């Protein structure tokens, strides 16, 4: 943890809002520090810190904690961290929390540590990871551990993503997981990359994937294709994903037998992928366009983003929604039975091409699901929980 936080020294090179003199002293301290003269950096940062410069206070705390340019002194480190923490500096808050959690320079106090770990609300991943891990090994509540680690993983902490994977699976009915979230389906398309619908994750800050065993995988949005309602997600821990699904050689022809896999109404139908079989319609749905299929099969909320597969178990599209008609009398929409919409494989391939152009690595070498093996294919379909 300390290695990560020490790198945050560079963040504050331009933090000069405590006044010109303090800012100049802070910048001078950086010049000396980068010249491998931490003792002279310490002199300038002391002056800036005494004038209230939060960045200098944080850096002094780091120098005293690690003994750079001065003898190690965790008590003084804690005092300077506290000064910067009270000014709202998230890195200082996290460092101070770590000292309270370990009892270094201050009395061990888990309640005070938890208070200062509130810095994570400002976007510091490590301040979610540390208390999350303390919940997993101590007497804390497992839901708290899971929530903290989810946030840290979404913020980009690989250790948190690995720890989240190691936790016992969440109960499918865990209210904290589903409540208030946008729910959909997704599937791995290559190592570390997952396909879902744009509308499932649109506007979300936190995205979580849940596999058929209930294990949680943190994900980040890396590319959106609004026109085709597709989104590409990246996971920090590719080894946590099930095998990628193979792509067919071409779009499905009208009349072809297909089946959809996804998680419709997960709160009512349970946490296991459901199969809906049917065929590709002979005509295009009104207003849908030539890049989509009209499906003669049953679709419900929750299938969105899930794979549409041919009889060989190859992906030919991604489900996007249900078809409905508007009643001219009351303007209410009536959902049609056995009628759905899916984006075609060609649009998925274009999205993957956009990912390659954006230097997002794409590979299908790990597409190891056996054709027509529905049970194994189902294990590669994931729940999307987006907030």
pLDDT exceeds cutoff 50 at 365: no
Other CB atoms within 10 Å distance of the CB of residue 247: 18
More confident residue, 10 or 146: 146
Q: In sequence order, what DSSP letters do the residues of 308-371 get, joined into one string?
A: EEETTS-EEEEEEEEEEEE-TTT--EEEEEEEEEEEEHHHHHHHHHHHHHTT-----TT--PPT
pLDDT of 211-232, one tens digit each? 888 888 889 899 999 999 999 9
Q: Assess contact for 347 and 336: CB atoms under 8 A.
A: no
More confident residue, 29 or 373: 29
**Fold category of 2-124 in CATH:** 1.25.40
Q: What per-residue confidence (pLDDT) applies to 187?
A: 95
Host H or E run for residue 250 = none
Q: What per-residue confidence (pLDDT) applies to 94?
A: 73
- Model's pTM, two decimal places? 0.58
Token couple for 314: 């190859």
**For residue 290, how far is the Cα from the chain centroid?**
33
Domain boundaries in the chain?
2-124, 135-166, 176-387
Q: What per-residue confidence (pLDDT) applies to 256?
A: 92
Q: How confident is the model over 362-381, as a mean pLDDT?
A: 60
More confident residue, 230 or 237: 230
Confidence of residue 5 (pLDDT cuts 50, 70, 90): very low
Q: Is 195 helix (H, G, I), strand (E, B) or coil?
A: strand
Q: How confident is the model over 194-201, as a mean pLDDT?
A: 94
Cα 193–Cα 198–Cα 204 angle in degrees, nearest 5: 90
pLDDT exceeds cutoff 60 at 186: yes
C-alpha to C-alpha distance for 62 and 74, rounded to whole angstroms: 9
Token couple for 79: 């005092």
Q: Assess contact for 265 and 301: CB atoms under 8 A.
A: yes
List all residues 6 or more positions away from 91 whose beta carbon is below 8 Å from its beta carbon. Answer: 5, 8, 11, 58, 84, 119, 124
pLDDT exceeds cutoff 50 at 363: no
More confident residue, 312 or 90: 312
Q: What per-residue confidence (pLDDT) applies to 96?
A: 79
Q: Assess contact for 30 and 43: CB atoms under 8 A.
A: no
pLDDT exceeds cutoff 90 at 151: no
Q: What is the largest CA-CA distance in the chain?
A: 81
C-alpha to C-alpha distance for 12 and 78, rounded to whole angstroms: 19
Q: How many CA atoms lie within 13 A of 114 on its CB side?
A: 11
Poorest-pLDDT segment among 55-69, 153-167, 345-359: 153-167
Q: How confident is the model over 337-363, as a mean pLDDT?
A: 78
More confident residue, 245 or 151: 245
pLDDT of 93-149, one tens digit each? 777 777 877 788 999 887 777 666 655 344 444 334 444 444 443 434 344 555 555
Q: What per-residue confidence (pLDDT) applies to 383?
A: 92
pLDDT exceeds cutoff 70 at 18: no
Q: Does domain 176-387 have CATH number 2.40.10.120?
A: yes
C-alpha to C-alpha distance for 203 and 194, rounded to whole angstroms: 18
First and final CA of the chain: distance in angstroms? Answer: 27
Q: What per-residue confidence (pLDDT) applies to 14?
A: 35
Host H or E run for residue 206 = none
Describe the crossing of helices 90-102 and 126-137 by its angle, rounded to 10 degrees: 20
More confident residue, 9 or 157: 157
């Amino acid at each position: 943890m300390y290695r990560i936080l020490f790198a945050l020294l560079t963040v504050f090179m331009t933090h000069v809002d405590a006044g010109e003199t303090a800012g100049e002293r802070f910048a001078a301290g950086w010049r000396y520090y980068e010249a491998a003269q931490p003792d002279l950096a310490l002199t300038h940062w002391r002056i800036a810190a005494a004038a209230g410069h939060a960045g200098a206070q944080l850096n002094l705390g780091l120098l005293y904690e690690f003994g750079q340019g001065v003898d190690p002194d965790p008590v003084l480190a804690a005092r300077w961290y506290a000064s910067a923490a009270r000014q709202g500096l998230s890195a200082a808050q996290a460092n101070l929390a770590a000292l309270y959690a370990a009892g270094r320079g201050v009395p061990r106090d888990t309640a005070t540590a938890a208070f200062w770990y509130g810095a994570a609300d400002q976007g510091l991943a490590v301040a979610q990871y540390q208390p999350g891990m303390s919940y997993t090994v101590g007497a804390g509540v497992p839901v708290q551990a899971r929530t903290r680690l989810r946030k840290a993983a979404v913020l980009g902490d690989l250790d948190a993503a690995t720890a989240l994977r190691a936790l016992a699976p969440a109960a499918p009915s865990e209210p904290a997981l589903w409540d208030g979230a946008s729910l959909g389906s997704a599937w791995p398309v290559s190592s570390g990359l997952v396909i879902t619908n744009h509308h499932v994750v649109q506007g979300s800050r936190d995205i979580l994937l849940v596999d058929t065993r209930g294990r949680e995988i943190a994900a980040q949005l890396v590319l959106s294709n609004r026109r085709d309602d597709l989104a590409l997600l990246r996971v920090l821990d590719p080894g946590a994903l099930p095998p990628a699904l193979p792509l067919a050689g071409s779009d499905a022809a009208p009349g072809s037998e297909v089946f959809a896999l996804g998680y419709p109404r997960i709160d009512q139908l349970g946490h296991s992928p459901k199969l809906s079989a049917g065929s590709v319609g002979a005509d295009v749905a009104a207003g849908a366009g030539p890049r989509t299929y009209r499906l003669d099969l049953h679709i419900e909320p929750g299938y969105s983003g899930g794979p549409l597969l041919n009889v060989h178990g190859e992906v030919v599209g991604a489900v996007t929604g249900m078809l409905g008609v508007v009643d001219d009398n009351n303007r209410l929409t009536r959902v049609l039975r056995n009628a759905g919409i899916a984006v075609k494989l060609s649009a998925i391939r274009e999205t993957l091409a956009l990912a390659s152009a954006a230097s997002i690595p794409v590979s299908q070498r790990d597409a190891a699901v056996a054709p027509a093996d529905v049970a194994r294919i189902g294990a590669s379909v994931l729940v999307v929980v987006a907030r």
